[in-house]
Structure formats: C-alpha cells, structure tokens
Amino acid sequence: MISSEQTTYLTQLRHDLHRQPEISGEEAQTAARIVQELTRAGADQIWQNLGGYGVAAEFRGTKPGPTVLIRCELDGLPIKEESTLPYRSEVEGKGHLCGHDGHMCMVMGVALGLAKRPARGRVILLFQPAEETGFGAQAVIDDPRWPEIRPDYAFAYHNVPGRPLGEVGLRAGPANCASRGMQILLHGKSSHAAAPEDGVSPGAAMAHLMQHLPALSAGTIRDADFGLSTLTHVRLGAPTFGIAPGEGELRVTLRCMTDTRMESLIHETQAIVGQIDERLEVAVNWHDVFSTVVNDIGATDIARQAAHAQGLSIHEMDHPMRWSEDFGRFGLDGARATMMFLGAGESQPQLHNPDYDFPDALLPLGADLFLTVIAHILSAHAG
C-alpha cells in the first residue's frame, strides 16, 4: 500500500502537472513527464504515442495470467482557472479542472505499488489522450500496437464533487450516458435588410429548430427512455443592421442512457431538420461522440469487494452519471470493464468549474483501491 513518503511524491507530481495543463490532442509534455516517471518506477515495457500522445506501461508477473488495465486521462480543459493556489495553472486559458491530474497520479501510485510484481498475469497502466473530446479511447484501440496491450479487465475512476470524500460509487450496467454534439449549418442567400424578400434567410428555420430540438428531451435520468437535447450555440448572419442573413449555425448536445436510445434520438432530430425550408442548404456534422459506459457485472463486483476490503463507504448508484466518458470503448472492445466513482467532497466545486481542484487526499486512497482490485483478480488465478 502507498506510504506517506510516496503520497508526498504523488502530491508534488500532481501539483507539477496541474501547473502545465495541455488540452486534448496536445498532451506532448504531459506524456513525456509520465514516461519519465514510469521509467523511474521500473516499468517492464512502455508504449508511447498511442492514439496520439497516449502512454501505456506494462508490469509483468512471473507466470501467465489475465491482463488488467488501469486507465486514466492526460488532458486538461480549455477553461481559465480562477484560483489563488500556489500551483495554479501557468497556461493562460487552460486548466486541469476535471481532475485528470489527480487521476494520473492515482495511477502512478499503482506503478509504485507494483514494485513487487504480481505472481501471475500482467498489469497495464494506460494514460489515455483526448478523453474530453471523446476521440482518445477509440484512437488508442485503433493503434496497430493495441493487440499487444488488449486487456481482459479494465478499470477507471472519475472523481465526483458533491459526494462524501472517499466514497466509492458503483453501478453495474449503464454508468455514464451516451452523448454527441450535433452541428447544423444552414446556407441560404443574404440580401439588403431593406429587401429581405430578395434573399433566403435561415432565421425562420433556426427558430423552428430552437423550439423543437430541445423539446425532444424526455424523462429523467432514472427512466430507460431518458433523453436530453440541450441547445448550446446559435449564430445567425453577421452582427450588422444592413444585411438580412444568408447563413447560420446551431449546435445541440444529445444525451441518453443507452446507445440504442441515442440512435432513436438521432432519428428524431433528423426528422425535425428535414422539415426546414428546402431552399436552404443544410449540413449536419457530429462531434464529441461518446458511447454509453456499460459496467460489467462481474468486474463491478470485484470493485465492490475491493472497496469493502479497504473499509470504504460504498454508494450503490440507482442511475448513471449524466456526463459522458469514452472509457466505454474498452468494454465494447471486449474487456470486462468498470468505471468507478470516487467522492471528491460535498463542498467541492463541480467539474469544469473555474475554481475546481482535485483533492489530494484521494491520491493514496485511489491508488490503494486499484492495487486491491488488481490483487483480487490476479490472486484469483493463482495455483
């Protein structure tokens, strides 16, 4: 288990990472620091530039057995941090305001704990790029070296502000919602504001979309048919008084509990888009596509047993998180995967808030819980 000296090291490492956040697709220096620390920890093999700037490290047991993957994220956010902390972000307009700096350091704590190798099998520590945009997990899986790494089990955490510090949230089945961004581009014809009839304005079409797309929201997060359609951005023409607009853009985020429900929600949105003025050119683009995270029953039970063994409070969740995570891709790839949730404190600012900061008290707790999960799986295959 993690010592007080190791906890001090992990805390300093988190503060260093916090000062220099890099957003999705730009995590070069963060990855280089992680490689440096994994090398120091004595990893048996390190893969670099996985699916971008991803890093994976292998810790091998002495006998054959299953592969257990522990995953965290490298990227920060394009949000300005508002803080007086001595280790606040030094990069203008960017911050580790989702806790990925803390997630990395909990996993680095696992590397320290694996100085004594498992008797069987192997552990892969994955520092994944581009989680915030939804591209990173699939990019790692698509990397031609992934077959060397592919796990039998996969586990990850996300910290949860508003829940008691150190509480472990568990849910078999859907654990994070599917979501995707829908960008609708409309192109007509501009005209003089004195003669709008000479042009084709997308204004009426946008008003129709703004009214009917959010109306697709249905149910609550506890309902199987839950769907949420959130209007996030609207732009119409140029900010002038003399031009009737000829183009516009609208963005909506779709969110639901299952991938099947997402398909039906997409069909409903496309039906609404199909109702707009046929004189307009319409293009629909999809961004930030996240599948549902579906927790494996058996793997979730292993996490539950590990939390009990650590004497941690367990929150049996009756509904998934509304926010999304691309960790679900590892389950779709065949791993018995489970996303766990760690309480970050009831008075902790929420994720993506400018004053959020990961609580250092979770570092040894999270590392020890991961190590207990690993020991449970690999010892179960001994003998």
Q: Return residue ranges of the chain for CATH 3.40.630.10.
A: 4-175+292-380
pLDDT (tens digit per residue) in 323-358? 999 999 999 999 999 999 999 999 999 999 999 999
pLDDT (tens digit per residue) in 263-306? 999 999 999 999 999 999 999 999 999 999 999 999 999 999 99
- Res 382 pLDDT > 60: no
The rounded distance, in Å, linking the Cα atoms of 355 and 348 is 9
- Res 383 pLDDT > 50: no
Average pLDDT score over residue span 353-377: 98
pLDDT (tens digit per residue) in 76-100? 999 999 999 999 999 999 999 999 9
Q: Supply the pLDDT for residue 380.
A: 55
pLDDT (tens digit per residue) in 157-202? 999 999 999 999 999 999 999 999 999 999 999 999 999 999 999 9
Average pLDDT score over residue span 41-51: 98
pLDDT (tens digit per residue) in 10-26? 999 999 999 999 999 99
Going by pLDDT thresholds of 50, 70 and 90, the confidence category of residue 224 is confident
- CATH T-level assignment (fold) for domain 178-290: Alpha-Beta Plaits (3.30.70)
DSSP 316-374: E-SS-BSS--TTHHHHHTT-EEEEEEEE--TTPPPTT-TT----TTHHHHHHHHHHHHH
Total-model pTM: 0.94
What's the mean pLDDT when you consider all of the chain? 97
Q: Return residue ranges of the chain for CATH 3.30.70.360.
A: 178-290
DSSP 142-176: HSTTHHHH--SEEEEEEEETTS-TT-EEE-SEEEE
Q: Is it true that domain 4-175+292-380 has CATH number 3.40.350.10?
A: no
